[in-house]
A and B are shown apart, each in its own frame.
Chain A
Amino acid sequence: MVVSMEKFKQRYRYSFILLYQLVVTDFKLRYQGSALGYIWTLLRPLFMFVILYLVFGVVFNAGASVPHYPVYLLLGILLWNYFSEVTNNGIQAISSKGDLLRKLNFPKYVIILAGSISAFINLVINFFVLIAFMAFAGVEVYWHASLFLLILAELFVLAIGMAFLLSALYVKFRDIGYIWEIIMQAGFYFTPILYPITLVIDRAPAIAQIQMFNPMAQIIQDARYLLITPKTSTFEQIFSTGWYRLWPIVAVVLFTVLAAWYFRRQSPNFAEDI
């Protein structure tokens, strides 16, 4: 066991060192030259939240049926923003490092992993704001809230898988950048972030079912169920029986394994394809 641990350390030593340096550098560079610096990490999602809350919560009253709608909305936005940050940065992560890739051979996955971890640290910082909001709104927290860590793990795996696929595709087909932008815009509304999925279930249950096949919808609904209110329709409730219940985990794991495999297969050619 000790021997294999040593071997593991030897094998991944360089990757660890690189990963650490890339994450640290990303943090140093992120808000360089801006007066408020890291505070923007908190302000950006908060402003987005305020705007969306005013439009959908106050004007359209979309969350009338949901207890603690503002916190419910904020949680959805934070999780979506994380996914959006990882994939949008990931898409160009490899090709923007072209200069480095042509001078040095190093494990390419570290670039994607570093971007993912940077975004995850931001997400964690933002969660402190969410916790403050939850306390302020008087949200009751149960023991099953700890299961939320599993949902976070699922989100991390899904986002990094998507980043692997997109970054490797982008090296060959630059159009992917624009296509992904459109998908993300559509996805923001197709995923129940601003409105509760129950609104769709009432009118067109079949569409709600299709919507829930989107892993981001399942992740956001499960997170809300665990942290904010049990009055949230989760994937399990919508597909209460049968093998459907395995879909989220199978889809996310299988997708990420395939994406990582594709990335790994393409990575030796990155230096000359970029």
Chain B
Amino acid sequence: MDDDIAIKVDGVYKNFKLPHEKTNSLKSLFMNIGKKRKKGYEVQHALKDVSFEVKKGEFFGIVGRNGSGKSTLLKIIAEIYQPTKGKVQKSGRLVPFIELGVGFNPELTGRENIYLNGGLLGFSKKEVDVMYDDIVTFAELEKFMDQKLKNYSSGMQVRLAFSMATRANADILVLDEVLAVGDEAFQRKCDEYFKIIKEDKTKTVILVTHSMDAVRRFCDRALFIQDTVVKAIGSKEDIANKYTLENLKMPSDMIAKKGEDYPDGLSERVPFFEITTNANKLLSNSDMLNFKISYKITDNTPINTKISILDESRGGYPIVQNGAGAIAKKGMNSLEYEFPLTLYNDTSLHIIATLDEEKTQKRIAFTNEGNSLRVVVRNSGRMSGSALLRREGEYYGRWKNGQADL
């Protein structure tokens, strides 16, 4: 292994044997002797041929949906599980945080738990003695150290556990996203801690997360795992975008099968209605959003086409609604729509449309989950926090262009 590599994962496979019936008793063992070997278990493949390297000092993200295998991968890296095939090499001391406060015992006092948890993290009693006051101060629990942990609120427990975790003396830290629990003040502490370890180039960090925001803020590189295989490894932007795009795809079971009744929003009168784009679904805010609305109608009643562009990243609030009047012709129809994204910051947009009869205002069709359109917008300019709109405008008044303007 090269000197600058902290973790090398090489062709790792992991299978779990899932027993049909839990057979860990001697009786079933004896009963099955002599019987034709019927497999009492199913093999579940949790990881297939996973290989990657993490350099020393890197902040490396692992992203994937639930059940993709990312937690199994994390546990294999942390040597909690053994790989079925392949190997993991590491250089330096590794400390995993699959969960906060591992080994905390509710029957012990806060003080005793600090020493116990410290021991699990590899600190001797003397070493904990030295940092004890700092741990307690950081957790803001000075008055509670002689109370039993079971009398702590969950918030207090998390604070104590996190305060311990920040002390971990490791070359490689393996963090699960479960760390990101707690109230807003705690989240900020977490963020600050992540920033500090990101700066510290002696520490290598592997972070498993769902949050693309965390990936873009902290990670140098990331790995995207899907259905037990590595889908992509690359820069944080690249992976964050791929992951978001992948999540735009609708699961196939939500789209009704042919031959059955018409799916939601369609009918015999309007058997086809969809919004599509020829362009990339991952757009920069300097691009133009371009899409096509197509539908098939079986009569000539005048109808209105209405579209809504919803801001999915911020709760689905509509940012644009627009209608086009009275076009109707029996058969296939299509409309194109163009929308400038210049003003927008990072967001995911959901574009939906409806067909209403012009005279009665009666809704005759709408696009469902399967035939509406989702796109992702990335601000290519200055970071603008989590706002909907790009950072724009100037400050006037006391300060202007960095100069006092009194």
Interface residue ranges, A against B (CB under 8 Å): 13-14, 17-18, 20-22, 24-25, 28-29, 32, 100-106, 172-176, 179, 268-269, 271-272
Contact = CB atoms under 8 A, between A and B. Distances in A.
Given A17-B119, A18-B120, A104-B80, A173 B24 contact: yes
Nearest to B29: A173
Which of B81, B107, B120, B125 gathers the greatest number of chain A CB atoms within 10 Å? B120
A25 B105 contact: yes
B107 A32 contact: yes
Given A21-B116, A29-B107, A268-B82, A103 B98 contact: yes
B123 interface: yes
Contact of B103 (A32, A100, A105): A100
Nearest to A25: B116
16 contacts: A17-B119, A17-B122, A21-B116, A21-B118, A22-B119, A25-B108, A100-B103, A101-B80, A104-B80, A104-B96, A104-B103, A106-B120, A174-B24, A271-B75, A272-B16, A272-B81
A17 B103 CA distance: 14
A271 B80 contact: yes
B123 A17 contact: yes
Contact of A271 (B27, B81, B99, B123): B81
B247 interface: no
A104 B122 CA distance: 12
A33 B213 CA distance: 48
Nearest to B78: A105
Interface in B306-331: none
Given A173-B24, A173-B29, A103 B96 contact: yes
Given A17-B122, A18-B119, A103-B102, A29 B108 contact: yes
B211 interface: no
Contacts of A17: 119, 122-125
A174 B102 contact: no
Contacts of A179: 26
A119 to B, nearest CB: 20
Given A17-B119, A29-B107, A173-B24, 13 more contacts: A17-B122, A18-B119, A24-B115, A25-B105, A28-B108, A29-B105, A103-B98, A103-B102, A105-B96, A172-B24, A174-B24, A268-B82, A272-B81
B287 interface: no
A103 B112 contact: no
Contact of A14 (B26, B99, B102, B122): B122
Interface in B234-282: none
Contacts of B118: 21
A22 B108 CA distance: 13
Given A28-B108, A175-B27, A272-B81, A100 B102 contact: yes
Contacts of B25: 173-175
B79 interface: yes
A52 to B, nearest CB: 32
Which of A17, A106, A173 gathers the greatest number of chain B CB atoms within 10 Å? A17
A178 to B, nearest CB: 10
Contacts of B116: 21, 25
Contacts of B123: 17
Contacts of B103: 100, 104
